[in-house]
Chain A
Amino acid sequence: MSELTATQRLALIREKGRPTVRDYIPALFANFIELHGDRHFGDDAAIIGGVATFSGIPVTVLAQVKGRNLEENKQSNFSMPHPEGYRKALRLAKQAEKFHRPVICLVDTPGAFCGIEAEKRGQGEAIARNLMEFMMLRTPIISIVLGEGGSGGALALAVCDELAMLENALYSVISPRGFASILWKDATRESEAAELMKITAEDLMHFGVCEHIIDEPDGGAQTAPDLTAENIGEYLAEAVPRLKATDIDTLLERRYNKFRKIGVFAEE
């Protein structure tokens, strides 16, 4: 595994040509059928949802859609979901629960969209609802952070039994730029913030947030997308049957405790 700084990884995951879910979904799954809409308001192109098979096992796929070019990015709003995106994800997760399909979430977002319409339609409520419902969902959930794991917008698809991260992926409470701009009133200190915030896969393993790191080829996933997809596939080939074979009540207890024990404090 390469020894890159958080700043170097940040540059890497922003590089043009880094594979997205549009590359990974066809590489990882067979029989993918996209399912649209939240049944309340509309369909959000920032989150693709659907059913598929993985190594012959039916699964539900929920994926945040970064664009590979400006055109694709405009279409999927730079992977910044609106409330209806999160509600579509919840609808499909509930459907997965009904049919006992494991849920695989592919996380790659700068964050939930910030705008008038998003507020009007309850961005906060949509994310909150997912956190609560995913915690109790009676089917296995695996989340994989592919590039950017941006705050609550990522967490809404990352309440899971197991969180894996691509080697160069980052997952943080706010972007390093936002962190520097709010806490130091100086957005130019972005790279200093990136190092301080402890947002790499290794850091997150240490905090108990991430369970597994998936190797990327030298130079990042973009240098060999097929190899990266293979590495993701290897991880899923081990994790999906294992979680599927675990008693669901045991799984839910573990899922609750995974988050329950995260916190750093003193007690008198």
Chain B
Amino acid sequence: MALEDLFKVVKDRSKADTKPKADTKVKKPGMGVEIPRGLLFKCPRCGTVVYRDDFERNRSVCSACNYHARISFRERLEMTADKGTFTELDAGLTSLNPIDFPGYEEKIAELQESCGIKEAVVTGVCKIHKYNTVIGIMDSNFMMASMGSVVGEKITRAFEYATEHKLPVVLFTASGGARMQEGIISLMQMAKTSGAIARHSEAGQLYVTVMTDPTTGGVTASFASLGDIIIAEPKVLIGFAGRRVIEGTIKQKLPDDFQSAEFMLQNGFVDMIVERKYLRPTLSKIFRTHNYTRMEEYKGGAGA
């Protein structure tokens, strides 16, 4: 299927999602009128309710608090890569069931259907402001982008490809952590990906992490934290342990901004917080300052 067709599918689906559903009505605050849920977006950070169309036009960023919401692989690709430059790598990898976890294959099949992607990360090569780069995008709609064999293998191969072709890597991380349904195999993906990054790094190539909502668990404790430069989107969740786990351990409630991008910046684990609208120029400057050369003169315009 051509990429354009894929976009059509996604657009159609997102339209389908916004169709008013009779059984899911919400009350707009302060009004006695019932509004269909699909038309509105309620910010999980500040609670502000806005029209979904406006929210999406604003790159899925909350206009009230600047929370950068979760977006799909396709939306991310469209706002990141130069139009028509993306070629997917290792598209044919799919999960098996290493510990025979009941219902795992069915769950994967369902998600492939509903998300329109085969696994929680899509990798490939593209241009950003005419700079050739390997790119990886994790999609939290797919089992909270947890890392199992396929995620580990695709990321590892992406780094190996970049090492071989002397390319930088930009990874958009989002994950609930290791995929428990694959048992110990999922834990080993942390070591495997870190090894591939070590070799890419030793070959003198650049790795930029863009931490998006949420970057947690075994992904924070492996490839997400190993970028030469670590960028985070505003207000996203970044951490190792789950909030409830920590609250259970210390028997007290945690402050709201705990494990936010801002918290990580303050504690020295993120280089900078960059808004979506400035990400392409920021990446472009980073490539420029690392001696990568543009393939041809850039004339502007995003969208894969």
Chain A interface (Cβ < 8 Å from any Cβ of B): 112-116, 118-125, 127-129, 131-133, 135-136, 151-152, 155-156, 158-159, 171-174, 179, 182-183, 196-199, 203-204, 207, 209, 256, 259-260, 262-268
Contacts and interface: CB of A to CB of B under 8 A. Distances in A.
A90 to B, nearest CB: 13
Interface in B246-300: 246, 249-250, 254, 258-259, 267-269
Contact of B153 (A125, A182, A263): A263
Contacts of A260: 156, 192, 195-196
A175 to B, nearest CB: 11
B99 A198 contact: yes
Contacts of B178: 151-152, 173-174
Contact count band on B? 35 or more
Contacts of A158: 191
Interface stretch (B26-34, B46-54, B218-226): B218-226
B302 to A, nearest CB: 30
Contacts, number: 183
A266 B118 CA distance: 11
Contacts of A125: 220, 225, 269
Contact of A198 (B184, B188, B268): B184
Interface majority SS on B: helix, strand, loop or mixed? helix
Nearest to B222: A128
A151 to B, nearest CB: 6
Interface string B219-236: 011111110000000000
17 contacts: A113-B249, A115-B249, A116-B246, A119-B259, A124-B221, A125-B225, A127-B222, A133-B198, A155-B191, A159-B191, A260-B192, A262-B188, A263-B149, A265-B93, A265-B96, A265-B150, A266-B94
Contact of B224 (A128, A135, A207): A128
- Please indicate which of the listed interface residues B196, B199, B218, B223 has the most CB atoms of chain A within 10 Å of its own CB: B218
A209 B98 CA distance: 13
B66 interface: no
Given A122-B268, A125-B269, A172-B184, A262 B94 contact: no
